[in-house]
Amino acid sequence: MAVDQAPPAGQPADVHAAQLAGLDALELGGSTSSGLATRVWGRVWPMLLAIAIVLAIWQAIVWSGRWPEYVFAGPAETFGKLGERLSDPEYWQAIGVTMRRAVTGFAISVLVGLVIGALVSRIKVLRAAFGSLITGLQTMPSIAWFPLAILLFGLTESAITFVVILGAAPSIANGLITGVDYTPPILLRASHVLGFRRLQLYRHVILPASLPSFLAGLKQGWAFAWRSLMAGELVVIIAHQASLGERLYYDRELADSAGLLGTMIVILVIGIGIDLLFETGDNALRRRWGLQQVRN
Amino acid sequence: MTAPLTERAARRTGGAEPAVRLDGVSKIYGQGKNGLLALDNISLAVEPGEFVSLLGASGCGKSTLLSLVAGLDRPTAGTLDTGGRKIAMMFQEPALFPWLTVAANVEMALRVQGVGKKERRERATEFLEIVHLGGFGGKRPHELSGGMRQRVSLARALAQEADVLLMDEPFGALDAMTRDLLHDELERIWQKRGLSVLFVTHNVREAVRLGDRVVLLSSRPGKVAEDFPVDIDRPRITDSPEVAELASTITDRLRKEVLRHGR
Ligand SMILES: Nc1ncnc2c1ncn2[C@@H]1O[C@H](COP(=O)(O)OP(=O)(O)O)[C@@H](O)[C@H]1O
Ligand SMILES: [Mg+2]
């Protein structure tokens, strides 16, 4: 039994140190992590498989003849058209306008969400008044805001940004509030004993502790922002300013099926790409915090 | 078998005020009929530099008592006096901040006192060396074993430079060999720093191994059942006959306490 090997008390400290070091080394063991290439491939091949399946179904529907080809273009035609457009600087400008709107709208949402989240999580009265309202806002379909937005701001970019913020900020605020609420009590107790109070407690303990939940809120907020933005660009057509949503609108007007599907693919790819960025950030954080075993 | 308590304490401290004193402290959780009397009229003193083991079955209110002393909660009745001393506490879990490195965790104790960055770093390293983790400052808590984390937690508590150290079953989750080593370490640190320690455990031998006194709490409600002085020369060995003998006496007493509840 381990107890029998217990060292006689009062041994010189360096013997203790050596024994502790020995135990430490035993307990830590070695860790193996697979290479980057293997991990990337592990993530990529299921995606490739999914894309292949979708393309096959798409082609099958086209071949079934349910719709004439000028209404529902096949993959080959769509990608051909998309390639053409991607070599046109004007199309890139449209993408640029949409991305600029997305980034500014999301950035403002983060600021608004942070301020609201911080206030609501800190101040009891605000919590009682606005806590459920914020959750309620999330269930509001963003398209329903547009009539009001257009009344308030006219057919301008401000109307779009307004709705993007209303879509994204509640999720971001909620992420922060949830994170604050679920700060592990043991950490709060430990911090209290260490002497952290009020603002210092908030800054050094509660805020960092709520980071994972805040990040989840950001990710969800991005999804809402992107959806609201696309709805907005379809509804609020601003003259002389091409954007992805505006492209969709005119492709439908002109019955350009291949162009429409191509733009939809661009929108999907951008959405997925940014979502992947958030997921990478989330995984990195989890690994640093030891919240999950590293996948191998 | 030994000199009376007060006399022993006076010998050690030169008659100073106790570091921690509880006078008729009670704690009721909840209100009215549903209230749970967790602690009932506890009177207890820890002299400066004294190591007191607090022993009791699980659920008897040991953690509650430490929370009160640490100021995490208020007693329902009675008075609690720590003479304005600084109090550090170690929990059963390491309670480390997962977003910080090991060194930064220790630094948190200094940060709150407004110690500058450079000095913080140096002193954190010193305290990590005291618990023999000098080379691990850059690691994250989750990269360490349970025993190592608990030592980081101890380093962080020491870094508070408190006069009183409260420990709530700090080694409960560790294997016997690691625990034995940590007992020796703790004893060394306690003696060197002249800390007053209130050490909670449900392990009788651990209580005897470490304490100047073993205070036995009864269960439901928690009351001081008996106060055993431990007159065994230090350094002690957990498996020595002296420790085993006193431990079995206390175990018998503890068994009686538990049996009282069976009826
Ligand atoms: N926050 C709380 N609210 C209500 N009851 C509690 C709370 N904390 C502890 N208790 C109860 O008080 C009693 C003593 O608990 P505790 O101090 O944790 O015991 P120990 O640490 O000795 O195991 C238990 O019956 C427990 O259920
Ligand atoms: Mg307990």
Here the CATH number for the domain that contains residue A153 is 1.10.3720.10
Q: Using N-to-C axis directions, what is the helix angle for B117-130 and B102-111, rounded to 10°?
A: 120
> Which of B117, B142, B161 delimits the end of a domain?
B161
Q: Whose CA is nearest to atom 18 of ligand 1?
A: B63
CATH code for position B80: 3.40.50.300
CA of B157 to the centre of ligand 2 (A): 18
In a domain, A165, yes or no: yes
CB nearest A3 (choices: B160, B176, B236): B176
Domain identity same for B193 and B255:
yes
Residue A127: domain span: 109-247
| Token pair recorded at residue A286 | 């989890």
Count up the domains in chain A and report the number: 1
Count up the domains in chain B and report the number: 2
Say what the ipTM of the complex is.
Answer: 0.88
> Among residues 175-194 of chain B, which lie with CB inside 8 Å of chain A?
175-178, 180-181, 183-185, 187-188
Contact B196, B165 (CB under 8 A): yes
In a domain, A73, yes or no: no
In a domain, B7, yes or no: no
List the Cα angle A198/B73/B101 in 5-degree steps.
Answer: 50
In a domain, A24, yes or no: no
Atom of ligand 1 nearest to the CA of B58: 23
CA of A173 to the centre of ligand 1 (A): 35
Q: pLDDT tens digits for A153-210?
A: 999 999 999 999 999 999 999 999 999 999 999 999 999 999 999 889 999 999 999 9
pLDDT value, residue A11: 54
Closest CA to A169 of A202, A208, A120, A129: A120
CB nearest B145 (choices: A8, A28, A209): A28
In a domain, A146, yes or no: yes
The residues on A that touch B, with CB distances below 8 Å, are 1-11, 13, 16-17, 19-21, 23-24, 27-28, 186-187, 189-196, 200, 204-205, 208-209, 211, 288-291
Domain identity same for B157 and B176:
no
In a domain, B211, yes or no: yes
In a domain, B148, yes or no: yes
In a domain, A296, yes or no: no
Give the C-alpha separation, A66 to A69, whole Å: 9
Give the C-alpha separation, A92 to A270, whole Å: 13
Rounded average pLDDT over A23-45? 76
In a domain, A46, yes or no: no
In a domain, B1, yes or no: no
Residue B224: domain span: 39-85+163-263
In a domain, B74, yes or no: yes
Interface check for B115 against chain A (CB to CB < 8 A): the answer is no
Q: In chain A, pLDDT over 70 holds for what percent of residues?
A: 92
Q: pLDDT tens digits for A106-122?
A: 999 999 999 999 999 88
To the nearest whole Å, the CA of A212 is away from the closest chain B CA by 10
Please judge whether B132 and A17 are an interchain contact, meaning their C-beta atoms are less than 8 angstroms apart: yes
Residues of chain B in contact with residue A282, where contact means CB-CB under 8 angstroms, are none
In a domain, B50, yes or no: yes
pLDDT value, residue B2: 45
Whether A232 has a pLDDT exceeding 50, the answer reads: yes
pLDDT value, residue A238: 83
Domain identity same for B258 and B172:
yes
Q: Pick from A194, A211, A287 the residue to mutate for testing the B interface (most B CBs within 10 Å).
A: A194
In a domain, A71, yes or no: no
Domain identity same for B118 and B226:
no
Domain identity same for B75 and B194:
yes
Please judge whether A27 and B141 are an interchain contact, meaning their C-beta atoms are less than 8 angstroms apart: no
Q: Using N-to-C axis directions, what is the helix angle for A211-235 and A244-253, rounded to 10°?
A: 40
Please judge whether B99 and A7 are an interchain contact, meaning their C-beta atoms are less than 8 angstroms apart: no
Ligand 1 pocket by C-beta < 6 Å: which residues? B 29, 36, 38, 56, 58-64
Domain identity same for B79 and B103:
no
Give the C-alpha separation, B234 to A197, whole Å: 40
Domain identity same for B66 and B117:
no
Alpha carbon of A254 to those of A70, A122, A189, A260: distances in Å? 11, 53, 65, 10
Which run of H or of E encompasses B58?
none
Rounded average pLDDT over A30-48? 78
Domain identity same for B170 and B249:
yes
> Which of B116, B135, B161 delimits the end of a domain?
B161
**Tens-digit pLDDT profile for chain B (263 aa)?**
444 444 444 445 455 789 999 999 999 998 878 888 889 899 999 999 999 999 988 888 999 999 999 999 999 999 999 988 999 999 999 999 999 999 999 999 999 888 889 999 999 999 999 888 988 999 999 999 888 999 999 999 999 999 999 999 999 888 888 888 889 989 998 999 899 999 999 999 999 999 999 999 988 777 888 899 999 998 899 899 999 999 999 999 888 887 877 65
Interface check for B148 against chain A (CB to CB < 8 A): the answer is yes
Confidence of residue A6 (pLDDT cuts 50, 70, 90): very low
Which of A80-89, A163-172, A234-243, B52-61 is predicted least confidently?
Answer: A234-243
Domain identity same for B65 and B107:
no
Domain identity same for B225 and B118:
no
In a domain, B128, yes or no: yes
